[in-house]
Structure 1
Amino acid sequence: MNSQVHTKPAGFLRRLAAIFYDALIIIAVEMIAVGIVIATMEALLSQGIINYGSYIDASDLLNHHPVWSILFHGYVVFVWVGFLSFFWMKGQTLGMRAWKLRLQNEDGSNIRFGQSLIRISTSLFGLGNLTVLFDSEKRALQDMWAKCQVVHLPKAV
């Protein structure tokens, strides 16, 4: 990022709009990820390779089996964390791009994977953004913990 670009901290409403936009995208990505698992299980069932035993269907198995449930939910979390980390390490999610926001270190560089994990674990599912309303530097809780910032990019000339 060019250090001569003047940015200002991102405000609460702009962050909220980007979160909403990204939530819609993440829901779609998760639906595809889960659909792949269900379709694979149904294909294996139709070939006689697996059976659901006492479970009603693939969903019942994936949500109630003691082992498969943990693996499946871990996979869903992995997709969610992977999506956010991938885009945050590039500086912007699609929602952030639409609302002209950028996640960066104070020197303007991209954050690292460890910082993305800190952001996810301290964001309190988005509630960490409420501190933007009270912090003089408009920092969210997750930004403080991960030592990064979300800035509002200027309009292109």
Structure 2
Amino acid sequence: MTEPTALDDTPPRSTAQIHASFPSASFLRRLAAMVYDLLVAVAILMLATGLALILPAVLNHMDVIQLSEDFSAADWLNQTPLFGIYLLSILAAFFCWFWWRSGQTVGMRAWRLKVQQRDGSRLTKKQAVIRVLTCAFGLGNLWVLVDFKNRRAWHDYAANTELVTLSKEANQLYYWKEL
């Protein structure tokens, strides 16, 4: 087949064939991407906390609760487990969205990693949720150090996914395709 032209955006091979040809990601690449994603996750949690602090301020203004110098809005948020659940939900939504939408988080894109189904296709929403629920905050990646043959983590096995290392060209292709 011929390469696609500017007027013909049909790829020369199926997307699944292109995706399936990449090697499994190493533990060190996974770790590096996790460090990048940790920085993004902290920023997102800071933003989510800032937004959550509006709720006690509004409730205090409406005289539903009474805040003082000894009992601040942060104290009010920290007294309930709902705040922790809210923050975990925000993080889960962040990872699920990026894994489902493009297969790459910010850190994964920087380190040319992509999560995909075993046949090379995009994750389903269900797979993204299973992956985030079984990743054990990244500790599941330690299994890659033991699984020499497949280099898959716990959450990859649970969700029937794989993490692959893209070529530079493929990483750029996926970036522009998602925009």
Structure 1 pair 51–153 and aligned structure 2 pair: CA distance change class (3 A): same
Deviation at 1:53, TM superposition (A): 5.9
**2: CA distance, partners of 1:125 / 1:4:** 30
Percent identical among aligned pairs is 39
Q: Which runs of 4+ in 1 moved over 4 A?
A: none
Question: Which of 109-118 and 7-16 deviates more?
Answer: 109-118
Q: Contact 2:16/2:119 (CA < 8 Å) preserved in 1?
A: no
Q: Offset at 1:128?
A: 0.8
Task: Provide structure 2 residue ranges, at least 5 long, that are not aligned to the other structure.
Answer: 1-14, 171-179
Residues 60-102 of structure 1, C-alpha deviation per residue, up to 9 Å, x if partnerless? Answer: 11111xxxx1332221111111000000102100110000000
Partner of 1:110, secondary structure, is coil
CA RMSD in angstroms comes to 2.0
Aligned AA (1:77): L
SS at match of 2:118: coil
Distance 1:114 1:52 in 2: 42
Scaled by the length of structure 1, the TM-score of the pair is 0.87
The answer to whether the Cα contact below 8 Å between 1:88 and 1:116 also exists between their aligned partners in 2 is yes
**CA shift at 1:2, angstroms?**
5.2
Code of the residue aligned with 1:29 in structure 2: it is I
Indicate the structure (1 or 2) with the bigger Cα radius of gyration.
2
Larger RCO, structure (CA 8 Å, separation 6 or more): 1
The equivalent residue for 2:123 is 111
* Structure 2 CA distance for aligned equivalents of residues 96 and 4 of structure 1: 18
Kept in 1, the 8 Å contact 2:53–2:77? The answer is: no
| Structure 2 length-normalised TM | 0.77
